[in-house]
Amino acid sequence: MSDLRDWTIATASDAMEKGEVSSVELTDAFIAAMEAGRTLNAFITETPELARERAAASDERRKNGDARGPMDGIPIGMKDLFCTEGVKTTAASHILDNFVPTYESTVSGNLRDAGAVMLGKTNLDEFAMGSANITSYFGSVKNPWTPEGANANLVPGGSSGGSVAAVSGGLAIAATGTDTGGSIRQPASFTGLVGMKPTYGRCSRWGTVAFASSLDQAGPLTRTVEDAAIMLQAMASHDPKDSTSLPMVLPDCRAACTRDAKGLRVGIPKEYTLDGMPEEIQKLWNQGAQWFKEMGAEIVEVSLPHTKYALPTYYIVAPAEASSNLARYDGVRYGFRKDGASLDEMYELTRGEGFGAEVQRRVLIGTYVLSAGYYDAYYVKAQQVRTLIAEDFKKIFADVDVLLTPTAPSAAFAEGDKMDDPIAMYLNDVFTVPASLAGLPAISVPGGVDKDGLPLGLQLITGVCQEETLFRAASALEMAAGFEARP
Amino acid sequence: MTHLIQGETGDWEVVIGLEVHAQAITKSKLFSGAPTTFGAGPNENVSLVDAAMPGMLPVINEMAIEQAVRTGLGLRAAINKYSVFERKNYFYADLPQGYQISQYQHPVVGEGTVTLDLADGSTRDVGIERLHLEQDAGKSIHDQDPKRSMIDLNRAGVVLMEIVSKPDIRSPEEAGAYLRKLRAILRYLGTCDGNMEEGSMRADVNVSVRPKGADELRTRVEVKNVNSVRFVMQAIEVEAERQVGVWEDGGEVVQETRLFDPNKGETRAMRTKEFAHDYRYFPDPDLLPVRFDDDFIERIKATLPELPDEKKNRFINDMGLSAYDAGVLVADRETATYFEEAADGRDAKTVANWLTTNLFGALNKLGKDIGESPVSAGHLGELVGLIKDETISTKIAKDVFEEMLKTSKAPGDIVEEKGLKQITDTGAIEAIVDQVIADNPDQAADVRGGNDKAIGWFVGQVMKASQGKANPGQVNGLLRSKLLG
Amino acid sequence: MSLTKDDVRKIAFLARIRVPDERLEPLAGELNNIVGWVEQLGEVNTDGVAPMTSVVETETPMREDVVTDGGVQDKVLANAPDGEGAFYGVPKVVE
Ligand SMILES: [Mg+2]
Ligand SMILES: [Zn+2]
């Protein structure tokens, strides 16, 4: 089989439909690549037998004319935050030691039902807390991209670092991600992939290990915008088991990918210009606006005045929710337990040893901002600012269709950089967090490469439930950028 | 009715507020589809949501909201059309999520009132602060293993209504009356079975004391999880006395949580100290705020039964009962229903009398409650009817009632079978009277000589001779005309 | 606002995370950095602004009151570190 990185969901699905390749053949090739690519540390758990079984079942369906659509038979990676029945699920944490769910998350179940073939569970930052995939209990993930003329190991971004490493490294055709403050879009930008986070509530959170409930959203990581649309269509559903699930059907996003950008009003938020931002990123951003103009879109400078407060707001809300969501990991019903003489000692030892440093830091911050005497000053204040941030967007989307911004303030950086300063690390999410706080759909599309040949992404954001517009703009941008670089 | 504790320095008043956890009647749990039935094997009534498996999410049970609103209406309380579930964060072995989903700043029900029916027939209003919904925790079993506690999550997630009173209660008796009245209201409404033994109603009792006449409240102590009306009253008694002792010894009552030990008749501080708690409430991001409209409330209102207070007023005003009798009869729904069925078309006061004295007494002796009464409501009514139309005398009625208790037969049938029908035929009674006078010439002379009182003896003799069947009024009249006329 | 070593000890106990004594001081430093940084929110005028309760406004979904779950003791206990006799075992609790 040729370069596995040539396959997209669309091309593989076509080829299977035409009988040029079977799912078992594709799956075997990707299993071999997964095994050969272990140095990336993209997978925590490989599930080759399960994959072959599902691939064979897919071929059987196709033979009988019962293929279930474009995801049927496609080998994918599953972020190890989705609970998978009978397959160890870790959230990259020691505290979930040997946890084997007896249930399947709605998102992974939807993909399974659509015929997707799970190759294994991909690595991530512990409990999805991180932007470099360096906090995993199972070790950090290597970015398949390396800077030209150097051999430094780069981080793949995070928290969906294993998923992007798998797809960009040719170990899977696509993969699932979850995005709380940018964990799909930022790693996509670091690896030259498309990463899409839908409107909050499009993908059910049922069965996905929670980080911050009001922000967590699953989404696809793919090579192309069209693939993202195909995969999102399979992942999204209205789920009565998730009270925050949107009770409406996702529009046909794949069809939206065929429409051009003519007449779109594209907003450029001036507050996204940061002091000290690499020139190349500013240049790419300008270039993006230029492409849209050339395609007949209208460029409008807009203002989102509360942008600079998004990151500190996020770093109150997300840890607060996390501190409570992670309270269930107590060594009583599942996962790691460290015995103690008393119940409290058992809790303290279990959680002190079971959680890594970054998770502990966030749980402590979250506990602090919710505690008596501080709740109003921090948590309530942050939720008020969050309202203002959401209102900023609402006002803007009365005027423009889509916003264009950089995805991340830098290209992938070397392992070891930014490690000792949590705030410098948090700044990775400066462009992605605002849309997360407002629950808006957003996508990162590869736009070009920097002077070291490393990929840079551009982000598009639309209003609530405006995924059609988002995909329309994204595929236009993708076409204009014509990104073809490979690691 | 002021309840005062006599201390060495003077009289002290007790100030009491109650937090009652009442299990709402629902088939499934507050946030999961697991059953709420009592007595299942360990961890059988548990869903993965209740066990807080990773990624599990809560979905609100509509019936829980309905039951809370229904109860709120029964407490004449404000219903909040916007309410919020929040997380109360703390670690405990039987709290799987590491937080309890409860309501805090925005409860579903606001201020209301419960009217107490006191022993002397008077009433007193106790304010309700709020009613909120929350999940129950599981159960820790400490006596199965020397080194471990065992956790059963069957109760985890069961729907609780926490009903918080204002600190309006002033004595153990009032606390008892409050709990009984609250239980009656819940049972009338069908929102809680009020079964304290099975834990479907538990009370946390907030107790403080202050010198008689003082205005400000002193430090209160929470006596947790008291599970019977009697224990609540005892706990208040001993806790108030303990506090008076502490203050009078120059000490300071500390705000803490204590447990009542019914065997030792004392309260003791819990080992798990309250100071370590900081519940860090915040709105549960897994749930949206609860909103409903007036239609929802109106729909529930339309299903409300007549409640004890309304019923009591009707019994007093329309049926002529005393406040005391009416209070006793409405105290539980079954008794009230029984009474109304028995009194249908009869003299209500007589029925009330028979019920509160004869039937209650008999049931008490049999150890049965009204639902198991061998005398049906219809039969009791019939018995009162037989007295009223003079088929039997009140005295005979008592014998018939004894027979009814034994056999559950209809009183008419018993009267028929045993030939107990009252003799009202003047000729027949006259014949007996004449016979008795003839048989007792000395006593007759005594009466005729002016000893009126001895006529009572003759009445007794005639009744005896008629086996109690002669109409006592007629007997009396005939004797008087024959001996004194 | 500055967190002391003692504050960190208290918060760590609330969160039931054992922090070795020698880590308290450096951790206080890290947390103070973050807290100091988020305190810039104090600049924002939020008078009369409602705190966000949910990003997407939809009706509260409610379930019908029917039993659809439970009776899955095996699944409930499948991953228990100490799940003998159908209970979860924990170190003895004294109330
Ligand atoms: Mg309480
Ligand atoms: Zn409570």
Segment C65-92 shows an average pLDDT of 94
C9, C13, C52, C62, best to mutate vs chain B, most B CBs in 10 Å: C62
Q: Measure the CA–CA gap between A477 and A444, rounded to whole angstroms.
A: 10
Chain A CB contacts of B278 below 8 Å: 371-372
* Residue A382 in contact with partner chain C when CB distance is under 8 A: yes
Look at residues A408, A317, A404, A413 and name the one whose alpha carbon lies nearest to residue A365.
Answer: A317
Q: How far is B150 from chain C (nearest CA, A)?
A: 5
Q: Answer yes or no: do A348 and C13 touch at CB < 8 A.
A: yes
| Confidence (pLDDT) at A423 | 80
Q: What is the DSSP string of A158-170?
A: SSSHHHHHHHHTT
| Confidence (pLDDT) at A366 | 97
> Are B447 and B342 members of one domain?
no
Q: Give the tokens for residue C25.
A: 């001081």
| Confidence (pLDDT) at B468 | 84
- The CATH number of whichever domain residue A89 belongs to comes to 3.90.1300.10
| Confidence (pLDDT) at B119 | 81
Interface partners of B (3+ CB pairs, < 8 Å)? A, C
pTM of the model as a whole: 0.92
Segment A134-145 shows an average pLDDT of 96
> Are B185 and B333 members of one domain?
no
Q: Measure the CA–CA gap between A442 and B387, rounded to whole angstroms.
A: 86
> Are B341 and B430 members of one domain?
no
A175 is a domain residue = yes
Chain C CB contacts of B56 below 8 Å: none
Q: Please check whether residue B115 is in contact with residue B72, taking contact to mean a CB–CB distance below 8 angstroms.
A: no
| Confidence (pLDDT) at A100 | 98
Q: Answer yes or no: do A340 and C91 touch at CB < 8 A.
A: yes
| Residue spans of beta strands (DSSP E) within A259-354 | 265-269, 298-302
Q: How far is the centre of ligand 2, averaged over its atoms, from the C-alpha of B39 (Å)?
A: 22
| Confidence (pLDDT) at C83 | 82
Report strand pairing: A298-302 vs A265-269.
Answer: parallel
| Confidence (pLDDT) at A353 | 98
> Are B343 and B435 members of one domain?
no
pLDDT digits 0-9 by tens, A315-364: 999 999 999 999 999 999 999 999 999 999 999 999 999 999 999 999 99
| Residue spans of beta strands (DSSP E) within C7-86 | 62-63
**Angle in degrees, CA C12, B219, B248, rounded to 5:** 125
The last residue of one of the domains, among B383, B418, B453, is B418
Q: Answer yes or no: do A382 and C41 touch at CB < 8 A.
A: yes
Which amino acid is present at A160?
Answer: S
> Are B22 and B40 members of one domain?
yes
- The number of the ligand nearest the C-alpha atom of B22 reads 2
> Are B214 and B273 members of one domain?
yes
Is the pLDDT confidence value at C95 over 70? no
> Are B14 and B96 members of one domain?
yes
Look at residues A353, B475, B112 and name the one whose alpha carbon lies nearest to residue C19.
Answer: A353
Look at residues B401, B361, B406, B396 and name the one whose alpha carbon lies nearest to residue B379.
Answer: B401
Look at residues B416, B429, B426, B461 and name the one whose alpha carbon lies nearest to residue B443.
Answer: B461
- Give the nearest partner residue to B289 out of C60, C76, C91, using CB atoms: C60
Instruction: Divide the 485 residues of chain B into consecutive groups of 10 and give the mean pLDDT of each group.
Output: 82 96 98 95 97 98 98 98 97 96 98 92 93 97 91 97 97 95 96 90 96 93 93 96 95 93 92 71 96 96 96 95 92 93 94 94 92 95 92 90 95 89 84 91 87 86 87 88 83
| Confidence (pLDDT) at A355 | 98
| Confidence (pLDDT) at A434 | 98
C89 is a domain residue = no
Q: Residues near C64 by Cβ (< 8 Å), separated by ≥ 6?
A: B62, B63
Phi, psi of B347 (to 5 degrees): -80, 110
Is the pLDDT confidence value at C1 over 60? no
Chain C CB contacts of B256 below 8 Å: none
Q: Please check whether residue A161 is in contact with residue A171, taking contact to mean a CB–CB distance below 8 angstroms.
A: no
C64 is a domain residue = no
Q: Measure the CA–CA gap between A84 and A88, rounded to whole angstroms.
A: 7
Tell me whether residue A159 is one of the annotated catalytic residues.
yes
Q: Please check whether residue A82 is in contact with residue A208, taking contact to mean a CB–CB distance below 8 angstroms.
A: yes
C93 is a domain residue = no
> Are B406 and B477 members of one domain?
no
Q: How far is CA B62 from CA B29, B138, B337, in A?
A: 10, 22, 29
> Are B353 and B435 members of one domain?
no
| Confidence (pLDDT) at B273 | 55
The last residue of one of the domains, among B273, B300, B327, is B300
| Confidence (pLDDT) at C2 | 86
Instruction: Residue C19: give the domain boundaries.
Output: 5-41
Interface partners of C (3+ CB pairs, < 8 Å)? A, B
The last residue of one of the domains, among B374, B399, B418, is B418
Q: Measure the CA–CA gap between B256 and B311, rounded to whole angstroms.
A: 41
Catalytic residue among A131, A183, A204, A245: A183
The structural domain count of chain C equals 1
Catalytic residue among A108, A159, A410, A436: A159
Model confidence band, residue A475 (pLDDT cutoffs 50, 70, 90):
very high
Q: What is the CA radius of gyration of chain C?
A: 22
Q: Measure the CA–CA gap between B152 and B137, rounded to whole angstroms.
A: 10
> Are B20 and B99 members of one domain?
yes
> Are B295 and B327 members of one domain?
no
Q: How far is the centre of ligand 2, averaged over its atoms, from the C-alpha of B31 (Å)?
A: 16
Segment A392-402 shows an average pLDDT of 97
Q: Measure the CA–CA gap between B234 and B230, rounded to whole angstroms.
A: 6
Dihedral angle, C-alpha B349, B351, B356, B357, nearest 10 °: 100
Residues B7-33: b if buried by 16+ CB within 10 A, e if exposed: beeeebbbbbbbbbbbbbbbebbbbbb
Chain A CB contacts of B149 below 8 Å: 343
> Are B328 and B229 members of one domain?
no
Look at residues C52, C58, C56, C30 and name the one whose alpha carbon lies nearest to residue A306.
Answer: C52
C31 is a domain residue = yes
Q: Which residue has the tokens 């992942």?
A: A235
A18 is a domain residue = yes
C20 is a domain residue = yes
- The CATH number of whichever domain residue C10 belongs to comes to 1.10.20
Helix%, strand%, coil% for chain B, nearest 5:
40, 20, 40
Look at residues B20, B213, B211 and name the one whose alpha carbon lies nearest to residue B134.
Answer: B20
Q: How far is CA B267 from CA A317, B225, B262, in A?
A: 42, 12, 9
- Give the nearest partner residue to A241 out of B59, B97, B98, using CB atoms: B59
Instruction: Residue A131: give the domain boundaries.
Output: 4-258
| Confidence (pLDDT) at B165 | 98
Dihedral angle, C-alpha B245, B250, B254, B258, nearest 10 °: -20
- Worst-scoring range by mean pLDDT, A147-151, A237-241, A340-344, B282-286? A147-151
A59 is a domain residue = yes
Go through chain B and tell me how many residues it has. 485
Instruction: Residue B316: give the domain boundaries.
Output: 306-418
* Residue A63 in contact with partner chain B when CB distance is under 8 A: no
- The CATH number of whichever domain residue B445 belongs to comes to 1.10.10.410
| Confidence (pLDDT) at C7 | 94
Q: Is the dihedral of CA A434, A437, A442, A448 positive or negative?
A: positive
